[in-house]
Amino acid sequence: MAHFAYIQDGTVQRVEPIVNEVIATTAGNDSELKGKRFMVSLYPETIEDDWVQTSYSGSMRGKYAGIGDLWDGTNFTQPAQPVSEVDPIQKSEKDATV
């Protein structure tokens, strides 16, 4: 099973599986271009450059792409977590009176 990530503005919007037979070459290898073309046939509002193959095992492009991950043109990465403005360890009113 191959997987393709749909990228918009450098962010993964969705990840779709494709059976290997759809993108297999005559030599039996996967063809990313065939996968991109197949995804565009399913989602005609997209273009080939919107789709990037990702590996469930994480063996290519840094990691398996997940929704919300970032694409820098080479690798997928998780976005940095925003720093919370609220201290996560706050005492309740009951704790404050004890």
pLDDT at 96: 55
* 13-26 residue pLDDT tens: 999 998 877 878 77
Tell me 19's DSSP state. -
- Strands across the sheet with 51-54, in order? 51-54, 2-8, 11-18, 70-71, 76-77
pLDDT at 58: 82
pLDDT at 43: 95
What predicted TM-score, i.e. pTM, was given to this entire model? 0.75
- For the chain, give the number of residues: 98
CA distances from 69 to 44, 56, 74, 93 (A): 23, 14, 13, 38
Q: Which residues of the chain have pLDDT under 50?
A: none
